[in-house]
């Protein structure tokens, strides 16, 4: 069936099978490979993207459920001039990654976290990212990165060209 979705600010219409998962749609139909598929069971959060302002695990959403929605992936975070989003910058500066596999999901979940709580404590960051697993257990610098990103103000909780992330 036909589905129209706005992906990273660009509206597109594609013919998809109803059973196509949003994660597969983004990777294979749109060619956006930043969104990783980790556990494929709604546990690890590697496939987290923002749909209509809310972080979701794209392995557990059908592409057809996102019809009419605004979807933002990691590729959509940086500005048109290539300037990194405050959360991307902070992950880079604080080295909030080890192997990098969980990073796209961590970054997208962090944007959602900072939208709901612009100045979280360490504990609030850890609880707010409970849906994202780092297989290297590199949580310490991830928490530092999110707290550092919070210093950038409200921009850290926003996705470009779309409505504010709600929570």
Partner 1 sequence: MIPSPFEYVRVGSVEEALAALAEHGEDAKVLAGGHSLLPLMKLRLAVPEVLVDISGIPGMSYVRVEGDGADAVVAIGAGTRHHELERDEVARAEVPLLPHVAGLVGDPQVRHRGTIGGTTAHSDPASDLPTALLALGGTVVLQGPGGRREVPVTEFWTGFFETAMSPDELVVELRVPRTGTLGWGYEKFTRRANDWPIVAAAAVDGRVALANMGGTVLRATATEEALAAGAPIAEAAALADQGTSPVADMHADADYRRHLARLLTRRALETAAGA
**Mapping DSSP to helix (H, G, I), strand (E, B) and coil, where does residue 4 land?**
strand
Q: Does 109 bind partner 1 (CB under 8 A)?
A: yes
- CB under 8 A: which stretch of 34-42, 85-93, 139-147, 149-157 binds partner 1? 34-42
Q: Does 167 bind partner 1 (CB under 8 A)?
A: yes
Q: Does 155 bind partner 1 (CB under 8 A)?
A: no
CB of residue 55 to partner 1, shortest distance in Å: 5
DSSP string, 149-166: HHTTGGGGG--TTSPPP-
- Distance (Å, whole) CA 17 – CA 21: 9
Contacts of 58 (CB under 8 A, 6+ apart): 21, 22, 23, 26, 35, 47, 48, 49, 51
Per-residue buried b or exposed e for 151-161, using 16+ beta carbons within 10 Å of the residue's own CB: ebeeebbbbee
Tokens of 51: 């749909």
Q: Does 61 bind partner 1 (CB under 8 A)?
A: yes
Q: One symbol per residue from 63 to 102: x for binding partner 1 (CB under 8 A), - otherwise; what is it?
A: -xx-x-----------------------------------
- CB under 8 A: which stretch of 27-35, 60-68, 85-93, 94-102 binds partner 1? 60-68
In this structure, the strands spanning 70-72 and 2-7 are parallel
Asked if 100 and 107 touch (Cβ cutoff 8 Å), the reply is no
Q: Does 45 bind partner 1 (CB under 8 A)?
A: yes
Q: Does 150 bind partner 1 (CB under 8 A)?
A: no
Q: Does 112 bind partner 1 (CB under 8 A)?
A: yes
What is the contact surface with partner 1 in residues (CB under 8 A)?
1, 17-19, 21, 24, 40-43, 45, 48, 54-57, 60-62, 64-65, 67, 109, 112-113, 116, 127-128, 130-132, 167
């Amino acid at each position: 069936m036909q589905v129209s979705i706005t992906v990273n600010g660009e509206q597109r219409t594609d013919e998809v099978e109803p059973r196509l998962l949003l994660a597969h749609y983004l990777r294979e139909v749109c060619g956006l490979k930043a969104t990783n598929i980790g556990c494929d069971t709604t546990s690890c959060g590697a496939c987290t993207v923002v749909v209509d302002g809310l972080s979701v695990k794209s392995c557990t959403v059908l592409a057809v459920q996102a019809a009419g929605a605004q979807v933002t992936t990691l590729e959509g975070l940086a500005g048109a001039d290539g300037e990194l989003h405050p959360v991307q910058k902070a992950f880079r500066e604080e080295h909030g990654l080890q192997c990098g596999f969980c990073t796209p999901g961590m970054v997208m979940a962090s944007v959602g976290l900072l939208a709901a709580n612009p100045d979280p404590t360490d504990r609030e960051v850890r609880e707010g990212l409970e849906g994202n697993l780092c297989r290297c257990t590199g949580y310490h610098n991830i928490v530092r990165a999110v707290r550092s990103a919070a210093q950038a103000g409200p921009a850290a909780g926003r996705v470009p060209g779309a409505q504010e992330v709600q929570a």
